[in-house]
């Protein structure tokens, strides 16, 4: 199997030559694994299965040490998280026998996808960090084919760690990026021209989100002329940084002017790391102050960081809602989506990074995992949601196709078998084949299955929303009022964005219901939503207070009439639980009688609810 190219070799003596040599090695690696995609996939599966021959899960289904695709597909079921939950709970509770994987589970990665309101727990093993590093190492050589000179400047990336918890059995549970940033792969990465960032590692590793953001912005502003690219993981995170700058630029300018760091930054390692960079620079402070106080912030990125060539953020999937804001702040700099990854596994990269955001396609790297694809067709155009697949029957199982066998233009649900103990696991993402790199397919990210509302990394599905709304609407019964219909939308016109619910009520006497009752309803919805939503509200402040807009009677009939006029069938019509289409949102807004906001943040603690009581 082709080896990941090493970041830099020691042999060449000129740094430019080393960079070129390394880039060429990486590009050759991509050529090789994509040209040989099917063989690489065969070897990956065989390697995973031969290592896992003693694993309880595979033995349970009678794989009997077989490592070939045919037997694997015949005997091992295609599963969702719910199917694996009992096994995962055993591991979380401290069972160290080889249940899913022969290698020790090093930690759990907590996904932004949830199960019963809590983050899903993805088992991982130490060596997966190497696979993640491999995918990262491919990104800049690809980018450099399109934009030379990136090795000569710095990247201003806003990266953050989140809190971690311990399972009852003592394993750490934390998000995949927190795990990566805290690993030696990131902390001790060799200094190479492509990992030359403005943020010292100590500022990224600071758990306090205010101190981390402040110090990263301070360092980014201080080195503004060196910055050639800016970014964050998701678009929402980058927008949050701009909003933070809008609030705190005068304090930041004071620090740049005096070469000191504000007393609110108390973390000693952050202070020390920042003070190694910072010197008094009144001229720069004047410049930043002048730009920030000039009025509209159009083009603020290119004004403050004039050498910036692109913004590196994911704007595919639900993140596309932030494209207009990014265009505004950057005077339409290229928005570059470099990779597609998850807690389960890192999947692929964008080989044409300067393409338009609507055309982004990811090439799955065949040695990351064994990939299969379930063709999907059912799609509700109005909501954009895909129905939950029920247990696959034998015919459907046959339909799962291998990586090299997918068809151009067809939509598929991604199913993975990983080195860390997931076998034929539904990731929950819907992808469309947009082309091929050699034998490896390239995919547009279409959507996450069933997600109706999302602002940041939260993913609220229809069932969760329904339960949350039901809990809240029950409070109206004592006022002789009931909920007739509702829908929601993710309003990102202000930062932070928020969930907006349109409610149509049947009320005997509306004067009997005080505004506080509806505010309580907003709060109850928030309390009932999943832990990723509540963390976004409480800890990251990336989601604003939920709003309920009460609409006039008859509004949802008008919504149905509108859908029918657009071609929906009257027999199949059901109220969409989320709306995205601007004319529908306009219609709903034009019928609003009153609106209410959640008065406080819902409760949130790190780790699963049940662990908090056990720990
Ligand atoms: P998590 O498990 O919390 O790391 O979230 C992984 C999920 O984030 C994926 O399964 C996708 O739904 C979404 N995601 C990751 N990368 C991208 C991308 N480049 N474009 C769109 N969605 C993405």
- Please write the tens of the pLDDT for every residue from 13-56: 588 888 999 999 999 999 999 999 999 999 999 999 999 999 99
Predicted local confidence at residue 388, as pLDDT = 46
Window from 127-131, 346-350, 378-382, 455-459 with minimum mean pLDDT: 378-382
Looking at residue 102, its pLDDT comes to 97
Q: What whole-number percentage of the chain has pLDDT above 90?
A: 86
- 445 C-alpha to ligand 1 centroid (Å): 9
Distance 113 CA to ligand 1 centre (A): 9
pLDDT at residue 63 greater than cutoff 80: yes
Determine the distance separating the centroid of ligand 1 and the alpha carbon of 341, expressed in angstroms.
Answer: 6
- The residue whose C-alpha atom lies closest to atom 10 belonging to ligand 1 is 342
Tell me the C-alpha to C-alpha distance, in Å, between residue 594 and each of 547, 557, 590, 599: 10, 19, 11, 16
Beta pairing partners, 172: 166
Looking at residue 382, the DSSP 8-state letter turns out to be T
For the CA of 176, the closest atom of ligand 1 is: 4
Rounded distance, CA 82 to CA 88, Å? Answer: 10
Atom 22 of ligand 1 has which residue's CA nearest to it?
317
Residue 224 reports pLDDT greater than 70: yes
| Cα–ligand 1 centroid distance for 101 (angstroms) | 24
The CA distance from 10 to 8, in Å, is: 7
* pLDDT of amino acid 566: 87
587 lines ligand 1 (CB under 6 A): no
Q: How far is the CA of 135 from the centre of ligand 1 (A)?
A: 15
Q: What is the pLDDT of residue 465?
A: 97
Does the CB atom of residue 427 touch ligand 1 within 6 A?
A: yes
Q: Of residues 189 and 426, which shows the higher confidence score?
A: 426
Collect all residues with Cβ–Cβ distance below 8 Å to 283 and sequence separation of at least 6: none
- Establish whether residue 338 lines the binding site of ligand 1, counting it when its CB lies within 6 angstroms of any ligand atom: no
Alpha helices by DSSP H, listed for 305-449, are 323-330, 394-399
With cut-offs at 50, 70 and 90, classify the pLDDT of residue 143: very high
Rounded to the nearest 10 degrees, what angle do helices 128-146 and 15-35 cross at? 110
Residue range 510-537, pLDDT digits in tens = 888 999 999 999 999 999 999 999 999 9
CA–centroid distance, 340 to ligand 1, in Å, is: 6
194 lines ligand 1 (CB under 6 A): no
Question: What are the residues facing 547 on neighbouring strands?
Answer: 500, 597
Tell the residue nearest (CA) to atom 19 of ligand 1.
Answer: 340
Asked if the bond preceding 496 is cis, omega within 30° of 0, the reply is yes
Q: Is the CB of 555 under 6 A from ligand 1?
A: no
Query: Residue of the nearest CA to atom 6 in ligand 1?
Result: 342
Specify the pairing of strand 498-507 against strand 547-551: parallel
Q: Print burial letters for 465-488: b (CB count within 10 Å at least 16), e (below 16).
A: beebbeebbebbeebebebbbbbb
Report the separation in Å between the CA atom of 224 and the middle of ligand 1, taken as the mean of its atom positions.
30
Which run of H or of E encompasses 254?
helix 235-258
| Selected residue with higher pLDDT from 358 and 1 | 358
Confidence bin at 225 (pLDDT 50/70/90): very high
Q: What is the mean pLDDT of residues 140-147?
A: 96
Q: What would the pLDDT profile of 243-288 be if each residue is shown by its tens digit?
A: 999 999 999 999 999 999 999 999 999 999 999 999 999 999 999 9
pLDDT at 381 over 60: no
> Mind listing the pLDDT tens digit for each residue in 451-486?
999 999 999 999 999 999 999 999 999 999 999 999
Instruction: Indicate whether residue 340 lines ligand 1 (CB < 6 A).
Output: yes
* Ligand 1 contacts CB of residue 446 (under 6 A): no
What's the pLDDT at 615?
A: 43
- The whole-angstrom separation of Cα 224 and Cα 272 is 20
User: What are residue 440's phi and psi, to 5 degrees?
Assistant: -90, 130
pTM over 0.75? The answer is: yes
Atom number, ligand 1, closest to the C-alpha of residue 457: 3
Q: What is the DSSP letter of 439?
A: T
Across the range 373-401, mean pLDDT stands at 64
Q: What is the pLDDT of residue 512?
A: 84
Q: For ligand 1, atom 12, which residue shows the shortest CA distance?
A: 448
Q: What is the pLDDT of residue 568?
A: 84
Q: Are strands 172-174 and 107-115 parallel, antiparallel or unpaired?
A: parallel
Q: Which pLDDT score, from 0 to 100, does residue 278 have? A: 98
Backbone angles phi, psi at 264, to 5 degrees: -70, -20
Atom of ligand 1 nearest to the CA of 532: 3
- Give the Å distance between the CA of 22 and the centre of ligand 1: 28
What local confidence, expressed as pLDDT, does residue 391 receive?
A: 55
Q: How far does the centroid of ligand 1 lie from the alpha carbon of residue 371, in Å?
A: 16
Q: What's the whole-number mean pLDDT along residues 536-541?
A: 92
Mean pLDDT score across all residues of the chain: 93
Residue located nearest, by CA, to atom 7 of ligand 1? 342
Q: Which residue minimizes the CA distance to atom 8 of ligand 1? A: 342
* pLDDT for 378: 54
Share of the chain above pLDDT 70, in %: 94
Spans of all domains in the chain: 148-308, 452-611
What distance, in Å, lies between the first and last C-alpha atoms of the chain?
44
Is the distance from the beta carbon of residue 317 to the nearest atom of ligand 1 less than 6 Å? yes
Residue 397: the pLDDT is 61
Pocket test for ligand 1, best of 121, 180, 314, 323 (most atoms within 8 A of CB): 314
Separation between Cα atoms, residue 311 and residue 304, nearest integer Å: 14
DSSP one-letter string for 446-505: EEETTEEE-SSS--EEHHHHHHHHHHHHGGGGGGTEEEEEEEEEEE-SSSSBEEEEEEEE
Binned at pLDDT 50, 70 and 90, residue 413 comes out as very high
Q: State the average pLDDT over residues 109-138.
A: 96
Q: 94-119 pLDDT, tens per residue?
A: 999 999 999 999 999 999 999 999 99
Identify the band that residue 2 occupies on the pLDDT scale cut at 50, 70 and 90: very low
Q: Is the distance from CB of 430 to CB of 413 less than 8 angstroms?
A: yes
Enclosing H/E stretch for 136: helix 128-146
Q: How far is the CA of 82 from the centre of ligand 1 (A)?
A: 19
Q: Tokens 């993805």, residue?
A: 122
Give the number of residues written for the chain: 615
Mean pLDDT, rounded, for 144-152? 94
Q: What's the gap in Å between 55 CA and the centre of ligand 1?
A: 28
**pLDDT recorded at residue 394:** 62
Q: Which SS3 state, helix, strand or coil, does residue 240 take?
A: helix
Residue reference for tokens 């989100």: 209
Ligand 1: which of 81, 110, 113, 532 to mutate, most ligand atoms within 8 Å of CB? 113
Ligand 1 geometric centre to CA of 557 (Å): 36
How far, in Å, from the CA of 428 to the mean position of ligand 1? Answer: 10
| Residue 445 CB–ligand 1 contact under 6 Å | yes
Name 432's bridge partners.
Answer: 411, 444
Residue 395 has pLDDT above 80, yes or no: no
Q: What is the pLDDT of residue 10?
A: 52
pLDDT of residue 238: 97
Mean pLDDT of the region 319-330: 95
* Cβ neighbour number for residue 518 with a 10 Å cutoff: 24
pLDDT of residue 613 exceeding 60, the answer is no
């Amino acid at each position: 199997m082709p080896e990941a190219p090493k970041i830099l070799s020691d042999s060449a003596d000129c740094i430019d030559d080393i960079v070129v040599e390394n880039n060429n090695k990486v590009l050759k690696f991509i050529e090789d694994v994509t040209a040989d995609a099917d063989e690489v996939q065969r070897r990956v599966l065989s390697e995973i299965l031969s290592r896992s021959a003693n694993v309880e899960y595979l033995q349970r289904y009678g794989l009997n040490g077989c490592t070939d695709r045919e037997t694997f597909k015949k005997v091992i079921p295609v599963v969702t998280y719910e199917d694996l939950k009992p096994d995962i709970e055993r591991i979380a509770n401290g069972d160290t026998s080889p249940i899913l994987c022969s290698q020790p589970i090093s930690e759990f990665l907590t996904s932004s996808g949830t199960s019963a309101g809590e983050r899903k727990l993805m088992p991982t093993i130490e060596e997966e960090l190497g696979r993640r590093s491999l995918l990262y190492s491919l990104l800049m050589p690809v980018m450099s084919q399109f934009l030379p000179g990136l090795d000569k400047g710095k990247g201003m990336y806003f990266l953050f760690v989140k809190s971690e918890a311990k399972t009852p059995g003592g394993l750490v549970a934390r998000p995949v990026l927190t795990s990566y940033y805290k690993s030696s792969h990131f902390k001790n990465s060799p200094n190479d021209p492509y990992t030359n960032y403005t943020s010292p590692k100590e500022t990224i590793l600071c758990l306090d989100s205010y101190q981390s953001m402040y110090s990263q912005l301070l360092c980014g502003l201080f080195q503004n002329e060196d910055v050639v690219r800016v970014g964050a993981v998701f678009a929402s995170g980058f927008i949050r940084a701009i909003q933070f700058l809008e609030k705190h630029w005068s304090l930041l300018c004071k620090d740049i002017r005096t070469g000191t760091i504000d007393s609110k930054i108390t973390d000693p390692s952050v202070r020390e790391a920042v003070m190694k960079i910072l010197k008094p620079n009144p001229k720069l402070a004047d410049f930043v102050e002048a730009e920030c106080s000039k009025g509209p912030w159009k083009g603020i990125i290119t004004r403050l960081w004039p050498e910036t060539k692109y913004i590196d953020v994911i704007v595919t999937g639900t993140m596309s809602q932030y494209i207009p804001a990014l265009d505004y702040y950057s005077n339409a700099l290229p928005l570059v989506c470099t990779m597609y990854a998850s807690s389960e596994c890192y999947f692929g990269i964008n080989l044409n990074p300067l393409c338009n955001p609507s055309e982004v396609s990811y090439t799955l790297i065949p040695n990351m995992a064994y990939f299969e694809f379930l063709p999907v067709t059912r799609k509700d155009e109005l909501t954009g949601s895909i129905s939950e697949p029920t247990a696959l029957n034998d015919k459907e199982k046959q339909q799962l196709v291998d990586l090299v066998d997918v068809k151009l233009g067809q939509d598929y649900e991604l199913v993975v078998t990983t080195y860390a103990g997931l076998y034929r696991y539904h990731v929950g993402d819907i992808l469309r084949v947009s082309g091929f790199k050699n034998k490896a397919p390239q995919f547009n990210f279409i959507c996450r299955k069933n997600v109706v509302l999302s602002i940041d990394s939260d993913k609220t599905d229809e069932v969760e929303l329904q339960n949350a709304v039901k809990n809240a609407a029950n409070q109206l019964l004592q006022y002789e009022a009931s909920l007739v219909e509702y829908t929601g939308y993710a309003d990102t016109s202000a930062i932070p964005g928020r969930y907006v619910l349109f409610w149509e009520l049947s009320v005997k006497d509306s004067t009997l219901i005080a505004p506080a009752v509806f505010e309580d309803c907003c709060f109850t919805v928030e309390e009932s939503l999943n832990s990723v939503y509540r963390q976004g509200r409480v800890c990251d402040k990336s989601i604003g207070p939920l709003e309920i807009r009460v609409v006039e009677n008859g509004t949802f009939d008008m919504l149905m009439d509108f859908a029918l006029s657009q071609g929906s069938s009257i027999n199949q019509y059901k109220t969409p639980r989320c709306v995205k289409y601007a004319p529908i949102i306009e219609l709903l807004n034009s019928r609003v009688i009153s609106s209410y906001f959640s008065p406080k943040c819902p409760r949130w603690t790190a780790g699963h609810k049940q662990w908090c009581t056990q720990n």
